[in-house]
């Protein structure tokens, strides 16, 4: 039986440092060929990202993934209207309408930089088919998920995904674990996938695939779920994540797309309404529901303020680790502390 750990089980260990000022450390990240101002991004859910926030984050230099629950015609119009944005990043599923969406992008030659295949169980023939369909038609970075083991991540990477989204049933509104028993303790899962390497044949001549060599490949990872504190983001980076996706903590922000509810039933306090993509609220029916609606304490903080606080936490963690590059956090030592 294998022992695995969640973020709450991990305590990071400081090391000797010669860093004079943490404020001068660079918390930006390079991800799939682009540099972003933070390793953090909101989950691609209705409660945490919309057209307005996507544009705001892009223009400020942050990464985002637009959710797939708009009408695709509206997403197409938004993409066309915003082709001068720094980053255009959208999500798709694996159904007929998703293929039609890809066809429309190809037919009208619409710019897109990232496409995320967003399904609950990423190790699936339908995901493989969609990766192939996109890669055969578009020069775009494909993120696929969600996954929970290295073997699965390797399959998606071999199918053509440029990065994988890691995490099953770990979100605050997710009930997949309760309904199915399936789950991924995030620290161990991310570490297993992000830090393991495999040999892959890399051609160095586009016209002759015999010219090339085997190279050790690390699969780029977005850690998705179980973030409750800024320290958890640091722990995800120590586990080896390239980017960290956050749902409920972004939804709490005063400018999140999540609805606000109040009244006597909530002690006359305003709360943010947060629900999962597999919830009945999002699906519009009760079939195979693996999510719930929760009411979050609203935080007097905007997305940009929260991202700044995240970056300050990462800078401080880098200082404690004695490293001046964010990628070097993956070598930071840690303790296991399960009595909490």
Catalytic center residues: 174
What's the rounded Cα separation, in Å, for the pair 144 and 153? 9
Contact 222, 243 (CB under 8 A): yes
Distant-in-sequence, close-in-space partners of 228: CB < 8 Å, separation ≥ 6: 7, 8, 172, 248, 249
What's the rounded Cα separation, in Å, for the pair 288 and 242? 32
- CA dist 302 → 115, 156, 171 (Å): 26, 35, 21
Label residue 77 left, alpha or beta by phi (over 0 means left) and psi (-120 to 50 means alpha).
alpha
């Amino acid at each position: 039986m294998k022992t695995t750990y969640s973020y709450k089980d991990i305590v990071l260990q400081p090391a000797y440092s010669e860093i004079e000022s943490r404020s001068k450390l660079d918390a930006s990240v390079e991800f799939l060929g682009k540099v972003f101002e933070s390793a953090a991004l909101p989950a691609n859910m209705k409660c945490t990202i919309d057209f307005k926030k996507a544009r705001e984050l892009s223009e400020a230099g942050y990464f985002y993934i637009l959710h797939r629950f708009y009408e695709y015609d509206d997403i197409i119009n938004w993409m066309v209207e915003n082709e001068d944005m720094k980053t255009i990043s959208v999500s798709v599923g694996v159904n007929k309408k998703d293929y039609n969406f890809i066809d429309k992008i190809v037919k009208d030659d619409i710019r897109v930089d990232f496409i995320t295949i967003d399904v609950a169980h990423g190790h699936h023939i339908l995901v493989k088919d969609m990766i192939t369909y996109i890669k055969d038609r578009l020069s775009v970075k494909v993120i696929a998920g969600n996954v929970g083991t290295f073997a699965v991540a390797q399959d998606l990477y071999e199918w053509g995904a440029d990065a994988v989204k890691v995490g099953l049933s770990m979100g605050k509104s997710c009930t997949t674990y309760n309904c199915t028993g399936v789950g991924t303790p995030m620290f161990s899962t991310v570490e297993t996938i992000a830090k393991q390497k495999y040999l892959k044949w890399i051609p160095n001549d586009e016209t002759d695939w015999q010219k090339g060599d085997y190279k050790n490949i690390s699969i780029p990872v977005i850690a998705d779920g179980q973030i409750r504190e800024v320290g958890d983001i640091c722990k995800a980076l120590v586990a080896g994540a390239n980017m960290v996706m956050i749902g409920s903590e972004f939804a709490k922000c005063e400018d999140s797309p999540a609805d606000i509810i109040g009244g006597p039933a909530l002690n006359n306090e305003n709360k943010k309404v947060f629900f999962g993509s597999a919830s009945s609220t999002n699906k519009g029916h009760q079939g195979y529901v693996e999510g719930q609606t929760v009411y979050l304490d609203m935080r007097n903080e905007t997305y940009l303020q929260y991202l700044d606080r995240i970056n300050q936490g990462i800078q401080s963690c880098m200082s404690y680790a004695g490293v001046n590059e964010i990628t070097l956090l993956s070598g930071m030592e840690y303790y296991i502390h399960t009595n909490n």
